[in-house]
Structure 1
Amino acid sequence: MPRFEAVLFDLDGVLVDSELQASTVWVELLAEHGLEIDLPTFMAQAVGGTHVVLFEWLRQTYGWTRPESFIPEMDARLHEAFGSTQTIEGAAQTLELLRGAGLPFAVASNSLRSRLTRKLEASGLAPMVGAHAYDPAHVGGRGKPAPDLYAFAAAQLGADISRCVVVEDSVTGLSAGVAAGATAWGLLAGGHVHPDNAVHLLGAGAARILRTHGELQAALGLAEHPLAQLG
């Protein structure tokens, strides 16, 4: 397989298992503000997207417009929920193996910067990611599915985007990686995974589908690295 110059990760659903956390907060708060929506329906639309897009979908689909108090309430609840963010099994080892192999990596997420930082810190991944955690504010608010965020992350690592692999769990994010010119892999290791996800990711241009971080490590050629024996 080709040697990649860098690995670019989404965060939610790829490194940390936070999609269900976030969506549960949203669904509960929406119900308190008069909009009943079931969790699977919400997650099918929300995973991988930005809040701007999500609010517009709620307006167009349900005729619901957020009250002024909604965002402050949501921010407070998400901050509390993300304080217990857990890593997806094998994710920390993947980052350790990449670091040990000298293969640069970054996180590129549609999360607001404060939430991105909160999740990385709570999960214990912040020291490994370091300064290479990027959000739409780094590219003028042009989040996924626009290619800007992944292109920016690659540039910060000094890597050619066409020689990078993007690891994603959502069509929105994977489409961004493909549009940026990277190789894109779907990783379906999070707790929110739906049986149809693989089909959708392949349709969006995924070069391969992986089910665990162990499979990802093997695909990246890390499984034979000495650190891989520690797990």
Structure 2
Amino acid sequence: MTAHPFDAVLFDLDGVLVDSELLANSVWVELLGEHGLQMDRTAFMARAVGSTHAALFDWLRADHGWQRPDTFLPELDARLARAFTATPAIEGAAQTLQALTAAGIPFAVASNSLRSRLHMKLEAAGLAGLVGDRAFDPAHVGGRGKPFPDLYTHAAAALGISPTRCLVVEDSVTGVTAGVAAGATVWGLLAGGHIHPDGEAALRSAGAAHILRTHAELREALGLSVPA
């Protein structure tokens, strides 16, 4: 078997495997506007990518003086559920997961998404069968999502591999910070269709050792071949 530089690969979901960021942020900005807070989508996305809902609500309250009404969260959940039924996979994501499987390299997904949305997006993108039960969310670690390292240490433990032998693939400073804190090697993947608010320089500053822009580049860097 060909030697590979890592014993496992741990993926973020949004912006790394599925192209969901524009869908989600458009829903947020539209609904915030209906509830009295007008925000530029790019500015909102700069804070939202990689974050949790709890952290976003804290930020909106602290920096914008906006308090969430009781009706906001149920409506947000309903609209996101509708939007995420159309979540596409990022080009080449399925081939990367297939190539890892063929090479015998275990992988998992660690996402700040709520569990129901995480699985909804994987299903819509056609990746659920490839990922199986190796998808983890903050509820698996007592709500301590990224930038805490807990999600990545939990995912590595579930695979039976030390985080120091794992590659984490991320597209946000929040996620890179979590991967580095877990002791993993982190690569940035800027393959999503949205504007990446953190950008290459910010990911490198957070500790990303390498920046890639397509799944084809990721597979090449890992020495993987797409199964025939």
Q: Normalised by the size of structure 1, how large is the TM-score?
A: 0.96
Q: 1:47 & 1:9 partners in 2: Cα distance? A: 15
Q: How does 1:167-182 map to 2 (within 5 A)?
A: 167-182=169-184
1:198 alignment partner, SS class:
helix
Counterpart for residue 17 of structure 1? 19
CA apart distance, 1:61: 1.1
1:61 alignment partner, SS class:
helix
Counterpart for residue 96 of structure 2? 94
Verify: 1:119 aligned to 2:149, yes or no: no
Q: 2:95 & 2:50 partners in 1: Cα distance? A: 23
Alignment equivalent of 1:67, drawn from 62, 66, 69: 69
In structure 2, give the amino acid aligned to 1:100.
A
Counterpart for residue 160 of structure 1? 162
Q: 1:113 & 1:8 partners in 2: Cα distance? A: 17
Q: How does 1:69-218 map to 2 (within 5 A)?
A: 69-194=71-196, 197-218=199-220
1:166 alignment partner, SS class:
strand
Counterpart for residue 49 of structure 1? 51
Q: 1:226 & 1:5 partners in 2: Cα distance? A: 18
Q: 1:13 & 1:226 partners in 2: Cα distance? A: 21
CA apart distance, 1:144: 0.1
Q: How does 1:21-32 map to 2 (within 5 A)?
A: 21-32=23-34
In structure 1, give the amino acid aligned to 2:46.
A
In structure 2, give the amino acid aligned to 1:38.
D
Q: 1:137 & 1:20 partners in 2: Cα distance? A: 24
Q: Normalised by the size of structure 2, how large is the TM-score?
A: 0.97
Q: Deviations over 1:45-88 (max 9, x none)?
A: 00000011100110111100000000000000000000010000
Q: 2:148 & 2:218 partners in 1: Cα distance? A: 25
**Percent of residue pairs bearing the same amino acid type:** 68
Q: Deviations over 1:128-182 (max 9, x none)?
A: 0000000000000000000000000000011111000000000000100000000
Give yes or no for contact 2:4–2:223 (8 Å, CA) kept in 1. no
CA apart distance, 1:192: 1.3
CA apart distance, 1:195: 7.3
RMSD: 1.2
2:187 alignment partner, SS class:
strand
1:95 alignment partner, SS class:
helix
CA apart distance, 1:226: 5.6
Q: 1:4 & 1:116 partners in 2: Cα distance? A: 25
In structure 2, give the amino acid aligned to 1:212.
T
Q: How many residues align?
A: 226
CA apart distance, 1:193: 3.1
Q: 2:226 & 2:20 partners in 1: Cα distance? A: 30
Q: 1:196 & 1:96 partners in 2: Cα distance? A: 29
Q: List alignment gaps of at least 5 residues for structure 1.
A: none
Verify: 1:220 aligned to 2:213, yes or no: no
